[in-house]
Each structure stands twice: as C-alpha cells, then as structure tokens.
C-alpha cells in the first residue's frame, strides 16, 4: 500500500526519516533560539493551555505560530522542501505550505492536548484538502507526550468544538469506544494527518525530556489565497466552532 493509499484510508500516515539527514541538529538549534528568547515573539507565542496565572514558572504547552516568518532559514531547509513534495504526493500538485508552528512540552508539565480536528480552527473552505506534518525533533512516546489518532475519523464532518479556557485549545468529545492509535516516533520522523482527523497528545510526564514538535501545514494555493483575502493568517484570535459542518 502506498503512503497516499494509507493516508486516504486512515487519515494519517507515519513518515520515517522525514527530517533530511544532517538537518536535525540545525532544526533543534533554531528551535532553541525560539524557546530561549532570541526573538521578540509577541503575537506569535502562547501557552496552548490558556494558563496565564501570575505564579506560573514554565509554559505547559508552548506554541509558536509561523516561525518561518521570523527566521528565514526554516523554509530554505531541505526538510521543508521534502515535506512540500510529500504533501503534493498525498494531495495534488497545487499544494503549498500554508503555515508552520512549533509546539513544545517541557519535562514534568503533564498537560494533555485535548481531542480536536485542526479544521475546527480554520474558516470554512470549498476545498477541504489539508495535511499537517507533525515532525518530532525529540523521540516521542507515551511518557513525554506523543500524539494520538483515531483512524478513519477524517471522513467525519467537523465535530462540535468548545473552548473551556479562554485562549486555550479547542476540544471536542470522542466516542469512548473509539480505538486510539499512539503516534510513537523517533526523532526525525513524522506523522502526516488530514485536517479532519481527530487527534490529541499526551502530557509530558518525563523528568528530563522535552517533546519538541515542528508542524507544517499544507493546502491548495487557491485556498491559501482565499483565506488571506479574508484576513486569516493563523495569528491572533481563533474562532470556536460549535456546530458540525460550520
């Protein structure tokens, strides 16, 4: 079975060695620059849990949106080009990168990423093709917060999503009988998932391991242009979808 057939059937597919050889340490170094204050990330960085308590000493889920707008080295890497080629293999030759982001879970933060569909964050578009590459820069397992997926859920409409904490992640409810696949990855590997695939992530309960993920999203260029014409650039406030199909 080809990766396109596997992706079409389950809504996600594992891609070993997605990070191009010799670029893993380069990407880790760039990632460290973002995490440790090299750039002014006002408007780009947040805690995905929505936790803004004044006594907080560490972000539980660090999210940095569109880092390639800040560091031009990223889109020039062979890894970004390889991801684009693979996205076109999965979805078609009209596919381009829409946005990228970094999501890190620091050791001992324990915060889970709730179940959701990425499309719940996006405007309703006539062409629903979209794929996100979740690339592991550290080994990801059940201890430090690997991803979880529900196979076949990409054929579902957008489920009702809610936002229990202002500024936090959207979430939805899943069938408690659903079979969960755990996305354990070696550093440098990736999982590509459809924009409608139900997914979540465990918290980082490890004592000393980060869980750094670099995520690249792709969709048809015409849909990217349509979103930008509507003023939607994946920064700023996000819309909460509360009704299926909206």
CA 41 – CA 64 distance, rounded (Å): 8
- Classify residue 236: in a domain, yes or no: no
- Classify residue 59: in a domain, yes or no: yes
Structure tokens belonging to residue 126: 């006539």
pLDDT value at residue 243: 37
- Classify residue 142: in a domain, yes or no: yes
pLDDT value at residue 58: 77
CA 92 – CA 89 distance, rounded (Å): 6
Domain assignment of residue 14, given as a range: 3-229
Q: Counting every residue, how long is the chain?
A: 246
How many domains does the chain divide into? 1
- Classify residue 246: in a domain, yes or no: no
Contact between 193 and 11 (Cβ < 8 Å): yes
Find the CATH number of the domain harbouring 219: 2.60.120.620
- Classify residue 238: in a domain, yes or no: no
Structure tokens belonging to residue 85: 């080629």
- Classify residue 234: in a domain, yes or no: no
Q: Are strands 147-149 and 199-201 parallel, antiparallel or unpaired?
A: antiparallel
Q: What is the DSSP string of the chain?
A: --HHHHHHHHSEEEETT-SPTT-HHHHHHHHHHHHTTSS--TTTEEETT----TT--S-SSEEEE-GGGT-TTGGGSHHHHHHHHHHHHHH-TTEEEEEEEEEEE-TT--PPEEEE-GGGGSPP-S----EEEEEESS-B-TTTT-EEE-TTGGGSPPPP-B-SSTTS--B----TTPPPEEE-B-TT-EEEEETT--EEE-----SS--EEEEEEEEEEHHHHHHHHHTT--S-S--PPP-STT-
Q: pTM value?
A: 0.93
- Classify residue 235: in a domain, yes or no: no
pLDDT value at residue 244: 36
- Classify residue 124: in a domain, yes or no: yes
Q: In Å, how far from its chain's centre is CA 169?
A: 12
pLDDT value at residue 52: 62
pLDDT value at residue 57: 65
| pLDDT tens for each residue of the chain, 246 residues long | 899 999 999 999 999 999 998 999 999 999 999 999 999 999 999 999 987 664 556 789 999 999 999 999 999 999 999 999 999 999 999 999 999 999 999 999 999 999 999 999 999 999 999 999 999 999 999 999 999 999 999 999 999 999 998 888 999 999 999 999 999 999 999 999 999 999 999 999 999 999 999 999 999 999 999 999 999 999 975 444 443 332
- Cα 49 to Cα 102, 170, 198: the distances in Å are 15, 10, 18
Q: Are strands 190-194 and 45-47 parallel, antiparallel or unpaired?
A: unpaired
């Amino acid at each position: 079975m080809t990766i396109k057939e596997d992706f079409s059937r389950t809504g996600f597919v594992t891609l070993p060695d997605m990070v191009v050889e010799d670029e893993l340490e380069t990407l880790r170094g760039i990632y460290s620059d973002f995490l440790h204050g090299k750039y002014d990330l006002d408007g780009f960085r947040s805690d995905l849990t929505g936790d803004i308590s004044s006594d907080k000493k560490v972000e539980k889920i660090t999210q940095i949106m569109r880092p390639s707008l800040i560091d031009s080295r990223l889109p020039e890497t062979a890894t970004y080009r390889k991801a684009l080629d693979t996205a076109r293999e999965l979805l078609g030759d009209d596919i381009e990168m829409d946005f990228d982001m970094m999501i890190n879970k620091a050791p001992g933060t324990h915060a889970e990423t709730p179940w959701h569909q990425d499309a719940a964050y996006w405007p309703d578009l006539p062409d629903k093709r979209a794929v996100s590459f979740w690339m592991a820069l550290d080994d990801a397992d059940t201890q430090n917060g690997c991803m979880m997926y529900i196979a076949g859920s990409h054929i579902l409409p957008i489920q009702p999503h809610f936002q229990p904490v202002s500024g936090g992640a959207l979430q939805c409810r899943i069938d408690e009988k659903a079979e969960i696949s755990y996305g354990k990855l070696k550093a440098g590997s990736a999982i590509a998932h459809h924009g409608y695939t139900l997914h979540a992530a465990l918290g980082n309960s490890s004592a000393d391991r980060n869980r750094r993920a670099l995520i690249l999203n792709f969709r048809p260029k015409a849909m990217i242009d349509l979103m930008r014409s509507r003023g939607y650039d994946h920064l700023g406030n996000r819309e909460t979808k509360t009704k299926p199909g909206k």
